[in-house]
Amino acid sequence: MPDVFADLVGQDEAVDTLRRAAAAASAVLRAAAVPSTTDAAGDGFDALAEESDGGQPTAAVDAGAGMTHAWIFTGPPGSGRSVAARAFAAALQCAYGTGCGECPGCHTTMTGTHADVRMVVPEGLSIGVNEMRALVLRAASTPSGGRWQVVVIEDADRLTEAAGNALLKAIEEPPPRTVFLLCAPSTHPDDISVTIRSRCRVVPLGQPAPEAVAEVLVRRDGVAPDVARWAAAAAQGHVGRARRLARDPEARKRREAVLAVPRRLTGVGAAFDAASALIEAAEAEAEASVAEADAAERAALETALGAGGTGRGAAGAMRGAAGQLKDLEKRQRSRATRAQRDALDRALVDLAGFYRDALTMALRAPVAPVHTDTAALAGAGAQKWDAEGALRRLEAVLECRAAIEANVKPRIAVEAMMLSLWKG
Ligand SMILES: [Zn+2]
């Protein structure tokens, strides 16, 4: 059986760092199990986070061995930030300290059922302060499995300022057995506050090479080699996206519809039509992705509230229930908005790939196209637009992504983009 780092594609350096840190963490635990008087002050952690938790009854390990209380995993979407964080969490809980993939610690962490590992996956547009406070409180408790309390925060760039401050306090004075693993696109101050950053060790992940992505699709998912190669290139280094393209016909159909956009832009009317089609496709995709969870949550809440009860007290209970249902609906709307934006962003990334292909062809750059199946169309575009025109179009797509990220209404941003794509 492969170990817990096996799915971290093309990130050898990061895996190396994490393996060493897990071994160091294990040594800290072993030292703690055998009380030692040789180093009463050291806790075996690197100086980065050491200042506030001196005096723990642990023995020292090599100070350069690389364990600390707070980590940030950075990298482009799909590079495997959360995969890396989860694998590291498993290695920390591993009975052998290696992330063997077989022991109960590894197994329960990887399947999401370990009692001392909490994965925070924001469903809405941000992670609020109440959620963070509750999390910090639980993270301070003694690990029930006797190893570490691990908190993984995916998309830590979506922390509200107040939530970030609550987290910072916990990172500044970490409980001795608590480890925070944050995931963010980068360490830019827009993504993560400078003060949090200064308390964390950074594990940068790169965009994995298409060959590495294709290899894992073949090995792990049983995808045919030629399909794997195509999907890995089309997904532009995004491992999860590559897997979906390789395995989900609906995802392939959506991608084809997006890549049909450039040849449909024949006039102003067509540009607006294309904008509508893109928005509506993203909405439909998002709706499909959250519908099941929405219905299940609502049913669970109604059951918990005893909906339909007629006994004494039912009227009062229903008044409270109305408030809870309202809260749930608010959370679900926030999640739906997020899902729509994510779907739209995937479409824009595909579209950007097309114009990038046109640009590289116009420049006669010796690089492989992103979308092999629309390479001929991109070649025709390259001839018609020249490098400059292709670049302007690529920039229009990237500007649209940035505008949506900055909260411009998606329809407005997409319409502006389609007009630029048509006019050039
Ligand atoms: Zn293990």
Q: What is the pLDDT of residue 308?
A: 55
Ligand 1 center from residue 99 Cα (angstroms): 4
Neighbours of ion ligand 1 (CB under 5 A): 94, 100, 103, 106
Q: How far is the C-alpha of 325 from the C-alpha of 328, rounded, in Å?
A: 5
> Side-chain half-sphere of 165: how many Cα atoms within 13 Å?
4
Structure tokens at 286: 């998002």
Ligand 1 center from residue 110 Cα (angstroms): 10
Ligand 1 center from residue 105 Cα (angstroms): 6
pLDDT along the chain (424 residues), means of 10: 85 93 92 62 52 38 66 89 95 94 95 92 79 89 91 91 92 92 91 93 91 92 94 89 91 92 94 94 86 82 68 62 82 84 91 96 93 94 96 97 92 96 91
Ligand 1 center from residue 181 Cα (angstroms): 19
Ligand 1 center from residue 339 Cα (angstroms): 34
Q: Is the dihedral of CA 276, 279, 283, 284 positive or negative?
A: positive
Ligand 1 center from residue 81 Cα (angstroms): 20
Q: How far is CA 370 from CA 143, 221, 229, 278, 400, in A?
A: 46, 22, 11, 20, 20
Ligand 1 center from residue 15 Cα (angstroms): 15
End-to-end Cα separation, the chain, in angstroms: 53
CA–chain centroid gap for 297, Å, is 23
